[in-house]
Copies of this chain bind each other. A is one copy, B any other.
Amino acid sequence: MGEPGAAVEAWVAALGTAFAAGDSAAVADLFAETCYWRDLLTFTWNITTCEGRPAIRAMLEARLAETAPGRLTVVDEATEDAGVITGWFTFETAQARGIAHVRLRDGRAWTLLTSMEELKGYEEKKGRRRAFGAEHGVHQGRSTWLERRLEEAETLGFTRQPYTVIVGGGQGGLALGARLRRLGVPTIIVEKNARAGDSWRNRYKSLCLHDPVWYDHMPYLPFPDDWPVYSPKDKIGDWLEMYARVMELNIWTSSEVTGARYDEATGRWEVVVDRQGQSLTLQPTQLVLATGMSGIPNVIDVPGASHFRGTLHHSSQHRGGEGYRGKNCVVIGSNNSAHDICADLWEHGAASVTMVQRSSTHISTSDSLFKFGTSKLYSEDALERGITTWKADLLNASLPYAIMHEFHKPTMDAIRIEDADLYARLEKAGFLLDYGDDESGLHMKYIRRGSGYYIDVGASELVADGRIKLKTGVAVDHLTETSVVFSDGSALPAELVVLATGYGSMNGWAAKLISQEVADKVGKCWGIGSSTTKDPGPWEGELRNMWKPTQQPGLWFQGGNLHQSRHYSQYLAFQLKARMEGLPTPVYALAPSYHRA
């Protein structure tokens, strides 16, 4: 064992001693003055980051005795880079097994991540614990796997109630559903489309995932090793449909939740579902909204819309450029959807395509994001360095949000050098570029506000060379029968106007399905309180309301990209399973609600 290894061993041993002594002060003293402890359930039954020694000590004073951590064991090799020593250790609490990742500076912890990996007594039946399958011996009246599956489909939601209902059968709902299945939590997933995966299939035809394959695996069943880097939408649709099937998920397709009400007296929900035309009520204890992190479309009110003779719709309604050949098209907005739709219209031979840019946008090319960003943890290179998907997710989670932007600035700097030419040409074309409030680039915009950027897969070239026209620094004033009139008095002929004006917070779904009161009680989803554009404070240090307890008992939000759907579904699943089993789950530092949306 080299020096980094010895340092990690020593620190973990000291931590174990302080834990065993129940000495919160001693534990806090093992941290550097600037320090972060991010806990994923193990101590707090919450997703929360304690920032600074006093916060760590306060958390432990509330939680150390009951958590009873022990059996700390260093695993994997420690490494050192620029004065920071990194190590891993496993541990147990009274309730769970966990893994931890620590970064040491001068012998004290700068960052600590603690992640729940297994609930004691409720381990997944995998590997040596897997089901036997066959029932050897002879059994009169034996039931088969198929009979049990059919019986479950016929009874769950009818003669017996699911513990959990998940609204939405995209990657978020399916990933969580698969984890709950393994943990034995009876669950129904309600999906409005006819087939799982249709939420991808139904989008514009050239769509491919914007994240690379290594980032996108679903839980338990990784893609085969020839899966394309950027999955075409129909291929990922097929994969998700297959996934729901082989994971034995109870997914109700062509079904929509039309309303839900929490019964304080019984602690259960009344969820009204239109199931293939038939209305029925489910009574789960837990309700998960997995309706897409983008929430409800922001449809702006455009004066004159009723007079407009062409097509006017929100980007979420736009099915692709077919049918607009030879037409004049105006797209309001300049983020991902706006770019994708403009390029698709151009590819389909629209007479003119104009993007109306209302405020500045960040652009990073897909290639550069991968080269300078994602590939560090998610790539063939990373795999060769021993960074499995599981390890990559933990490393990803180990960076506290409070300092994450510091790690993204050098990435952004590198991309600005790499793509200097593109950026210069975009500016020359009049495009209003930004790199984030603190120049930290795309990923922080994603975390802080989930918007304000375009991952360039080709449209920026069309903007730079004028094939997509730009209209900037103006607002839409009104529509006439055949044109868009802007605030500066100028006008453009239009047969299609697309409102690529984004989406509201996910709690808009709570307002729509439950009540405005519950939506307000829960408050805004997403964002970390960074006090940057569209991410108002106060500081929370975690994504608001995501994958963790909310102010509304029994209401949860699951969502995000494929990586987040995969990794954070683990923690949401443990929280639901523990509640189903009646385990104590005292939530430390339940976040208050500050913003309605």
Contact = CB atoms under 8 A, between A and B. Distances in A.
Contact of A230 (B132, B225, B462): B132
Interface in A118-143: 124-128, 130-142
Contact of A366 (B131, B136, B225, B231): B136
Contacts of A206: 135, 142, 144
Task: Give chain A's interface secondary structure class.
Answer: loop
A205 interface: yes
Q: Which among A130, A134, A144, A457 has the highest number of chain B CB atoms within 10 Å?
A: A134
B366 A228 contact: no
A78 interface: no
A403 interface: no
Interface stretch (A238-246, A428-436, A446-454): A238-246
A136 B213 CA distance: 15
Given A246-B238, A380-B127, A229 B133 contact: yes
A454 B124 CA distance: 33
A299 interface: no
A459 B238 contact: no
How many identical subunits does the complex contain? 2
A227 interface: yes
B225 A127 contact: yes
Interface stretch (A341-349, A523-531, A535-543): A341-349
A466 to B, nearest CB: 13
A226 to B, nearest CB: 4
A145 B127 CA distance: 36
A182 interface: yes
B225 A132 contact: no
Contacts of A348: 140
Given A242-B246, A246-B242, A457 B136 contact: yes
A259 interface: no
A138 B208 contact: no
Contacts of A228: 130-134
A467 B139 CA distance: 13
A182 B228 CA distance: 12
A584 interface: no
A407 interface: no
Given A226-B125, A235-B145, A136 B245 contact: no
Nearest to A237: B146
A489 interface: no
A468 to B, nearest CB: 9
Contact of A462 (B138, B147, B221, B234): B138
B133 A231 contact: yes
A418 to B, nearest CB: 15
Contact of A138 (B141, B234, B459): B459
Interface residues of A, number: 62
Given A134-B208, A138-B346, A367-B136, A145 B234 contact: yes
A220 B229 contact: no
A224 to B, nearest CB: 5
A458 interface: yes
A202 B124 CA distance: 31
A461 interface: yes
A140 B205 CA distance: 12
Interface string A209-228: 10001000000110011111
A131 B229 contact: yes
Interface in A127-178: 127-128, 130-142, 144-147, 149
A138 B135 CA distance: 57
A295 interface: no
A373 interface: no
A220 B226 contact: yes
Interface string A310-349: 0000000000000000000000000000000001001111
Nearest to A247: B224
24 contacts: A126-B226, A127-B380, A128-B380, A131-B226, A131-B228, A131-B229, A132-B228, A133-B232, A133-B235, A134-B208, A134-B457, A136-B366, A138-B458, A138-B459, A138-B461, A140-B349, A144-B206, A145-B235, A147-B205, A182-B226, A224-B246, A238-B245, A239-B246, A242-B246
Given A133-B209, A221-B224, 13 more contacts: A127-B225, A133-B230, A133-B232, A134-B208, A134-B228, A136-B367, A137-B457, A138-B462, A141-B347, A144-B205, A146-B232, A220-B226, A239-B246
For the complex of A and B, the 8 pairs showing the least CB-CB separation, nearest first, are A133-B228, A134-B208, A145-B232, A134-B230, A146-B234, A133-B230, A137-B458, A242-B242
